Amino acid sequence: MRNQTLSDKMESYPDLMSCFRGSTNSRQREEYRQFLYRAIKTQLTKRQTQMILMRYFEGMSVTEISEQLNINKSTVSRTLNRALDRLTDLAKLYFALK
């Protein structure tokens, strides 16, 4: 059930799709969504995945995430930035090889 939620909501979060700016082709956008879904589930650490889901799919703020996980806001921010950097790097590599 959680997998369907992740896949279904992927397009609703433009910040998460920002590494694919400029592409309007619906077939390409679907490929990007599938790539992000797989990358989030397989290429991020458990903590990065958890925070990405909380931030972009549950709509929680950095402050809310830090309170729920009982960690510093700067740690949440750094972890999210690293996860997004990782997704961007993976996307550049993946789509350059296609």
Residue with tokens 């009982």: 70
Per the prediction, the chain carries an average pLDDT of: 82
Residue range 51-84, pLDDT digits in tens: 999 998 899 999 999 999 999 999 999 999 999 9
- Domains annotated for the chain, with CATH where assigned, are 2-97 (1.10.10.10)
Q: Which helix (H) or strand (E) holds 75?
A: helix 73-97
Exposure letters 32-68 (e unless 16+ CB within 10 A, then b):
bbebbeebbeeebeeebbbbbbbbbbeebebeebbee
Q: In the chain, how long is the greatest CA-to-CA distance?
A: 41
User: Among 10-19, 65-74, 81-90, where is mean pLDDT lowest?
Assistant: 10-19
